[in-house]
Structure 1
Amino acid sequence: MATTAQAATFPRTRFKARAIPRYTIRDRLLFVVALLTFGVAVFYMAGGLLIRAYPALFPGETVPFIGKVLSPLPGPVGVDQPGASSVFNKRVNLLILGLDKRPGDRFEDAYRTDTIMVATIDPVSKEASLLSFPRDLYITYDLPDGQWSGRINQSYLEGFQREGTIAAGAKQLAHDLEFNFGITIDHWMVMDFLGVEGIIDSIGGIDIDIPEELAVYNWWYSDEGGRPPEYVTFYPGEQHLIGYYAVAFGRSRESSQGDLDRVKRQQLVVEAALTKVFSLSLLNDPIGLYNAYKDTVKHDVAAGEMPGLARLLQASRGNLQTYSIADPVDGNPTVYGFETAGGAAVLGWDPENVTYWLNKAFPKTSYSGAAVEIQDGFGEPMEDRDEALGRYLRFAKGVPVVYIGPERTTQATTTITLFREGRRELAVDIAGWMGIPTAAIITKNPPDESYPDVLIAIGQDFILPDK
């Protein structure tokens, strides 16, 4: 919210209040997400998880929440734990995997994962997100016989080879996501590209606005349809793609950024597919949709877990935010290429940037839509204390909106003023991060709607919190 009103205590000017930028990728259609990205039907069905996750419809039930703080680097990095006692933070996280399955291979064989996404939904705020992971991301595998490091797309294979089952592979990757990033996975689903092709064809194909020309060489992934290798060129602009070419477009790495570009194309496929799904009103028959496609995926969700699904999806109104954990933050790269001692080309990652994307994809519900303003009363200009604190709140702690207000009269101590009681949890959290006693939080009524939810006035005792 903009802070434009003048007030004797908290002066504001329109030209001085500037927001710490928001780096959302784009709002789109819904937590059906997984659906078309490698498993349309099952994610509809997986919404039945919300029997235990949506207290408003099914009171008395709980679901594991995301989050724990893991050890600082050089160990794994994680997101801050959102209040364990708060029902508003009990979200559902679904791991979606697309297998690198080649012609002649069986589904039940060992593969690396070409696609790794986590779909998450907060059943109270009705907000949903999709977070993508590039296959070359360098992580630590936490295995029964020890730990070692490699590409994230190898994690599934490690579990599969140990026990010989798809479930073991999915569970190993789910475990490694929690170990490295603090993401708790509730359920998983695995799909190959033939399944994706069939599902997209079943809805009549999809329409994608292709951003730039893409030439895909020697494209093939299936011997069951008798197709020879093909050379395919996708031209910029609106294109209608049947399932076979939608998979070719989403799977190809034939571009300057390789797998990072592929992640973006897969998200375009998801968004286009979701648009089509909603235009066809497929939510009207989720059970029929599940029955039609349940054999195209492997998953750990029982068919009986469907009650409440359609109501929740419809209430979500198709709102989905898509993110890639590899995207830059504030112009700073999140991933960087390097070669391991064994000669493998992998992607290292910046822990602070990764924490930012985790906070974006798995926000604390009590922060949703909140605005914080910072005013500098330290008394020494040009030190950028307010900017540094703003970046800390936005990028390290996931506060949605942070404004930098005008400088104020010098004051000895840093203060926190709460203008809206509904944001008390945020004010308490900020106080904790800054080492300010909760009892010192000042509570006031906002003189008008231009005031932020929480105002931080930097004093001469200010110390920037550790990241």
Structure 2
Amino acid sequence: MVSRAESRSLRSASRARHIPHPAGALAGRRQRGFFALSVLVFGIACFYIALTTLTRITPELARGQDFQNLPIVSNVASLIPDPVLPAAPGENSSFNRRINLLVIGVDKRPDQPDDAAGYNTDTIMVLTMDPVSKTISALSFPRDMVIDIKYPDGFVGQDRINTSYGVGFQDSNHSIAAGAKHLAADIESNFGIKIDNWIWMDFKGVEKLINTVGGVTVDIPEELAVYDWYYTDDDFTDPHYETFPPGLNQLNGYRAVAFGRYRNDSDLYRVKRQQLVLESALAAVFSRKILDAAPTDLWDSYSTIVHHDIPLAEMISYLPLLKATGGTINLFSVGDPVNGVDTMLPYTAPSGAALLDWNRENVQYWINQAFTKSRYAKSTVEVQNGAGPTGIDDAEALAQYLRFDQYLPIVYIGPDVAVQPTSSILLYTENRRPMAEDIADWLGIPHSAITVRPRLTATDPDIVIITGRSFDPAKLQTPR
């Protein structure tokens, strides 16, 4: 048996054996310090990887936004030196390319089965969003417009644009997606507009959407008013009279659809009515802050009302851009006249069908208006003849070139000025310098020919081009 004194002696000896040597303690501290440093380096590396990944993913998920200023990026970036951050995507970056959505509204009656032969596409429009200028435009196509349609066997024939969807629909065992893709392909081949995604709705879908946003307030001009239209939205409900007088009209989904369908006066007027409903619906979405909902909630709410091919990730990237537009939409129709010249040319087919041929230059003009390059958006250009009496036609030719070939939105002819030997450019808005330099390149004149002038009134153009005696329209640069 161990005595109490021996026990104390053993415990003291044990403690003595476990007292670390000074050199060993130092080594342990070094190991712990090295481990902490490794963790810190690993953490910084993770931050770096997260940040660099984020700055590559974010431009695609938040197009048109300066992602360096987004909270999630700036918070991480504050922990790392500035050189880590790449530059924000430029105007011509693929991250900032336009987004083109094809909107298809079909005349599918409630009593028709889902495999009914093709349906009629009553609404065909392209919504285009520009991430750089933060604008959204709608370009509509009259349903009776005749285009080249490519059939599944490779044959290309002419028919109404509203038959294109049905060709793809019927050839694919009644697939809405195939019909939409076929129409998108025909639009690209006829007009050069590449479609990113499509949205498909029938009458009831549109009605539900409008009711979901609480109805729309439409300001109807006199020429688009409708009086005593005997209307029903199907073939088995008794019709009744609908009237849409000039001025403000509060419309629920049913009446908004009815207003947008009326075309007893003109198919071109129907396009205008549909655009009014679209504009009013977008205004309602913004005024009621519907886009403030979580993207997944929006997805769940509307994905059952419409057919589309927009993945959830794409929808998330579209929403900030749509919100950045502020609810303003620019409305265009390829059927509108240009400078008093009709774009749509009605004729009757041998079968008796009423069809619309079209002026190619005018249609291209409206496409240019809707798809204006970002650096030219909302700009105004005045062309002045500085070559004497013989230069009037050349100035007109330059204006046409700028409108139709270079996609400038607003170009007009100004007064003649004193004759000068060479062409020159007056720049009244400094932030339009890149555009002025582009114009100089097209004209084949040096950038030194650009002179900055103070803008005296709000109505002054951004740029004035003065054509000199040496100007030759035949030498204008061919658009790339």
Residue 233 in 1 paired to residue 243 in 2?
Answer: yes
| 1:316 match | 325
Q: 1:330 aligns with which of 305, 323, 339?
A: 339
Residue 94 in 1 paired to residue 106 in 2?
Answer: no
Q: Deviation digits for residues 231-255 of structure 1, max 9, x if unmatched? A: 322233322222111111111212x
| 1:446 match | 452
Cα 1:444–1:394 shift into 2, 3 Å: closer
Cα distance between partner residues in 1 of 2:409 and 2:205: 37
Q: Deviation digits for residues 367-392 of structure 1, max 9, x if unmatched? A: 12334343322233683543443344
| 2:273 match | 265
| 2:37 match | none
| 1:349 match | 358
Q: Measure how far apart 1:93 and its partner are.
A: 0.3
8 Å Cα contact 1:88-1:124 kept in structure 2: no
- Provide TM-score, normalisation by structure 2: 0.73
Q: Measure how far apart 1:173 and its partner are.
A: 0.6
Q: Deviation digits for residues 349-377 of structure 1, max 9, x if unmatched? A: 11111111001111001112334343322
**Counterparts of residues 38-437 of structure 1 (less than 5 Å):** 51=61, 53-54=63-64, 56-57=66-67, 85-87=92-94, 90-109=97-116, 110-144=118-152, 145-164=154-173, 165-212=175-222, 213-215=225-227, 217-222=229-234, 227-254=237-264, 256-257=265-266, 259-285=267-293, 286-380=295-389, 383-402=392-411, 404-416=413-425, 422-423=431-432, 425-431=434-440, 433-434=442-443, 436=444
Q: Deviation digits for residues 417-444 of structure 1, max 9, x if unmatched? A: 667775455345434544x26xx33255
Higher-helix-fraction structure: 2
8 Å Cα contact 2:63-2:317 kept in structure 1: no
8 Å Cα contact 1:89-1:365 kept in structure 2: no
Structure 1, 383-392 or 348-357: larger mean CA deviation: 383-392
8 Å Cα contact 1:252-1:262 kept in structure 2: yes
Q: Measure how far apart 1:323 and its partner are.
A: 1.0
Structure 1, 140-149 or 170-179: larger mean CA deviation: 140-149
Aligned residue pair count: 390
Query: Aligned with 2:163: secondary structure?
Result: helix
Query: Aligned with 2:452: secondary structure?
Result: coil
- Provide TM-score, normalisation by structure 1: 0.75
Code of the residue aligned with 1:121 in structure 2: it is M
8 Å Cα contact 1:415-1:441 kept in structure 2: no
- When Rg is computed on C-alpha atoms for both structures, the one with the higher figure is 2
Q: Structure 2 unaligned runs (5+)?
A: 1-57, 70-89
Query: Aligned with 2:389: secondary structure?
Result: coil
Root-mean-square deviation (CA, aligned residues, Å) is: 3.1
Cα 1:216–1:91 shift into 2, 3 Å: farther
Question: With CA pairs under 8 Å and 6+ residues apart, which has the higher RCO, 1 or 2?
Answer: 1
Q: Measure how far apart 1:87 and its partner are.
A: 4.9
Q: Structure 1 unaligned runs (5+)?
A: 1-47, 60-82
Query: Aligned with 1:449: secondary structure?
Result: coil
8 Å Cα contact 2:429-2:455 kept in structure 1: no
Structure 1, 48-57 or 326-335: larger mean CA deviation: 48-57
8 Å Cα contact 2:91-2:132 kept in structure 1: no
